[in-house]
A and B are shown apart, each in its own frame.
Chain A
Amino acid sequence: EVQLLESGGDFVQPGGSLRLSCAASGFTFSTYVMTWVRQPPERGLEWVSTISSSGDSASYADSVKGRFTISRDNSKSILYVQMNSLRVEDTAVYYCAREGASRAAADSWGQGTLVTVSS
């Protein structure tokens, strides 16, 4: 059974940093593209970042580019996102999701972890 378990969500002040993790199991992690998606309170889904299966390429939404860094450890089956210079508008539930090998929909999702940025 595919499982994705996010962790690391917390309450942080504006300008602070946080690293989220997503532990994967039940599939060969190193062969899948992985993605972070977030959802601010009472709002819609927003794509954040996607990383290739090998980890050698990544893409970012304009709203987080230069502040967030996605990475992965294929030996441990863990996906990360390092979030720096956090803003109030980064407050959201952050989901990790599994895509296929290339240009595929997100077929498995974690339960989400809440990041709250507030003074």
Chain B
Amino acid sequence: DIQMTQSPSTLSASVGDRVTITCRASQSLSDLLAWYQQKPGKAPKLLIYKAFNLQIGVPSRFSGSGSGTEFTLTISSLQPDDFATYYCQQYISYFRTFGQGTKLEIK
């Protein structure tokens, strides 16, 4: 199975900060990587698909980059609504896997 490693596990930041979350895969994904946002008690929400494509309705301050085995999610200017947990997921394999998550906290 493909292993997904996210870093950091926790990130403390302030409103207006630029933050980056990294996701590394144990083998090449081409560009078949997604990023999800999850808030407590809620279902995950798709932010980015195919590494850098913004899902409809997602603010443009979110962006994704990377290919192969290393990917990043960047939030250009944190807003209060962005404090949540973020997950990467590979879907090149029929055996999907998620990263362990990055909790974005208010500093």
Contacts and interface: CB of A to CB of B under 8 A. Distances in A.
B46 A106 contact: yes
Contacts of A61: 95
Interface residues of B, number: 25
B45 A47 contact: no
Interface residues of A, number: 22
A45 B91 contact: no
Given A45-B38, A95-B43, A112-B43, A105 B94 contact: no
A105 B43 contact: no
A106 B92 contact: no
A62 interface: yes
B55 A107 contact: yes
B39 interface: no
Interface in A60-115: 61-62, 95, 97, 99, 103-107, 109-112
B98 A45 contact: yes
Contacts of A62: 1
A105 B49 contact: yes
A44 B98 contact: yes
Interface of B: 1, 32, 34, 36, 38, 43-46, 49-50, 55, 85, 87, 89, 91-92, 94-101
Given A44-B100, A59-B94, A107-B55, 11 more contacts: A44-B98, A44-B99, A45-B44, A45-B101, A46-B98, A47-B89, A95-B43, A97-B44, A107-B46, A110-B43, A112-B43
